[in-house]
Structure 1
Amino acid sequence: MNEVIEKLDFTVAIPTYNGAKRLPQVLDLLLKQTGIEKLDWEIIIIDNNSNDNTNEVIEYYQKSYSQNISLKCFLEKKQGIAFARIRAISEARGEFIAFVDDDNLPANDWVSQSYNFGKEHPQAGAWSGQIHGDFEVSPPENFNRIQAFLAIREHGLEPYLFDADNLRLPPGAALVVRKKAWCESVPEELVFKGRLSKLMVSGDDTEALLYLHKAGWEIWYNPAMHIDHKIPHWRLEKDYLLVLARGCGLCIFQLRLINAKNWQKPILLIKTILGNLRRVLQHLIKYRGQFKSNLIALFEINFYWASMMSPFYSLRWKLDKIFKKAITQND
């Protein structure tokens, strides 16, 4: 006899890797949520191969919960945030699924604001709110120009639809999705798996959202949802930021192909190369002699350069895939 799975209103899914020190603050804030008295919801943690005492922390909270909230943990052995989120989708029982990273600190009404928005916008496949930076050290001058790359989003007080056609989309952190929309629209296997290699190629968040957009679902900004994103000092250091800039750039062309028609692809190729070449040259002229002292300008030119090279990275990825498939068939 098949087990009947109880459907819930809302799931908070927390992907984590070695999050023993970060998880308690997140879980404590989720336990203090307001306006959820009539909500049937759960918290699930996706442990992505942690080797610290994450499991002990989770067991402690499972035993100490006094509220009627289900807290479960699932081990996802495939490394990468994309695999962790896909596992969360399969395990979640909620109509809406919220991805909260283990360094995201939700406001006390974040769950209720997220749930209410989804109910009020039935065509919304995904929605996200304001993400504020909680910095361990002061960010560099003009950091606001690149803060979106670190999942900090403060876009004003009015709701609006994100511009998916121009890749202006929210990050996967603090994102809420409609489970039905995801299951019907997003492939089981995504091209981008998360920042796994030394290149730290990103794009997994945007890739999933583009498939939702392609299927006709709306993607919204809801300013009533507030989360603080903890930014440790090392995420503001030069070495990390430059790798991040290149990783965010290398995925650009492959992402643009998702919603492109065949006749548009050669045009996109030319625009990606020439458009970013123009930006690189403009930055070289504008900031000549300043790149050693201006970290933000250096970040931007690395992002433009990697974006310009992204068609070649996409070609390399496709060739690797063909090569691996050929080896598998021969075996």
Structure 2
Amino acid sequence: MQLSVIICCHNPRMDYLARVLKALKAQTLSTDNWELLVVDNTSKDPVSASHDISWHPDARHVREGKLGLTHARLRGIAESSADLLIFVDDDNVLAENYLDVAVQIATDWPCLGAWGGQHFPEFEGGAPVEKWKVDQWTSTFSRDLWSNNYDPRVTPFGAGLCVRRKVAEQYADLVKTHPLRRSLDRKGENLNSAGDIDMAFAACDLGMGLGRFVNLKLDHLIPKGRTNDDYLLRLSEGSGYSQVILDALRGIKTSQPRRIDRIANFLKRLLLEPMERQLAMASEAGRTRAINELQQVRK
């Protein structure tokens, strides 16, 4: 068994998940070399009732009763058996050679503990007019990137994230010892994030590196709702919150800005376009929410 593919889902769009599974069925890597786990995180309609995965000889549905992407990922880690794990979101359509390329990277780059690739958005109803909205969902680059440091520029995202088992287990141990990590990532309707980054950083904790590779490609299915302003403002708030929490967990202290800094930030925001200003304010609101929570935890 070369690798385990783990799909974590919560109330997924059935048409999207069908495409995700279809892309996995079309992989060039023989199904004899990988297992498939579909982790259903308390979906209202059980995924096992609507999606047949019997085409794969080593596939199974798993029901995780604790709500939250972190819980689903931990369940996937515990249930899987291979030394290489690949996390696939329920809206990720992998290129047909994705698993083959991931295995080759694992062999060619034994120094790396976590890696990912390029993400190409497929927008429902066509791409939005605003370029910044397209950029929000695009992750492309022209050369392979890697580092032995906690470097956000080369840190892979959760979509198509490849991690060695010892890295995944290191991350699972970190979550057990510090439950605050469970506040990272999606939980129901909230848009917190950065659990994927925290897992990737676990590779650096073990003295291994991170990488992003041009030949690892997937299409990210983006529904209309994820390009509207309200959603993106909520996403910005969740990102601001998650960055502060991640920094705290990684030993970087963040405090409330001084009055003079708040005034300076306010003046800077006046120079921004209206939507940029709203996004900056949403991110700052998320940071403030996180700082307040951390202060309560420390009391």
Q: Specify the TM-score bucket, using the shorter chain as the normaliser.
A: 0.7 to 0.9
Partner SS state of residue 21, structure 1: helix
User: 1:142 aligned to 127, 131, 136, which one?
Assistant: 131
Matches within 5 A, 1:1-331: 8-19=1-12, 20-34=14-28, 36-37=29-30, 40-52=33-45, 54-58=47-51, 60-62=52-54, 65=55, 69-136=57-124, 137-143=126-132, 147=136, 150=137, 152-161=138-147, 164-165=150-151, 169-186=155-172, 187-189=174-176, 190-196=181-187, 200-260=191-251, 265=253, 268-269=254-255, 281-287=267-273, 291=274, 295=275, 297-298=276-277, 300-306=279-285, 309-310=287-288, 313-317=290-294, 319=296, 321=297
Q: Which residue of 2 aligns with 1:329?
A: none
CA contact (8 A) 1:131 1:227 kept: yes
Structure 2 unmatched runs, 5+: none
- Once the two structures are superposed, what CA deviation does each residue of 1:140-184 show, in whole Å capped at 9, x if it has no partner? 42326851xx4x311223333386345763321211111112213
The number of residue pairs the alignment matches comes to: 292
State TM-score, norm by structure 1.
0.77
Unmatched segments (≥5 aa) in structure 1: 1-7, 324-331
Q: How far did residue 204 of structure 1 move? A: 1.9
Cα gap change, 1:199 to 1:78, in 2 (>3 Å): closer
**CA-atom RMSD, angstroms?**
3.0
Corresponding residue for residue 327 of structure 1:
none
Cα distance in 2 for partners of 1:116, 1:271 equals 46
Q: Secondary structure at the match of 1:43?
A: strand
Deviation at 1:252, TM superposition (A): 1.8
Q: What's the TM-score, normalizing by structure 2?
A: 0.85
CA distance in 1, matches of 2:167, 2:91: 26
- State the secondary structure of the residue aligned to 1:202: coil
Check 1:322–1:301 CA distance in 2 against 1; reply closer, same or farther (3 A cut).
closer
Amino acid paired to 1:109: N
1:82 deviates by 1.0
Q: Is the radius of gyration larger for structure 1 or structure 2?
A: 1
CA deviation after TM superposition for structure 1 residue 18, in Å: 2.3
Residues 114, 274 of structure 1: CA spacing in aligned structure 2 closer, same or farther, 3 A cutoff? farther
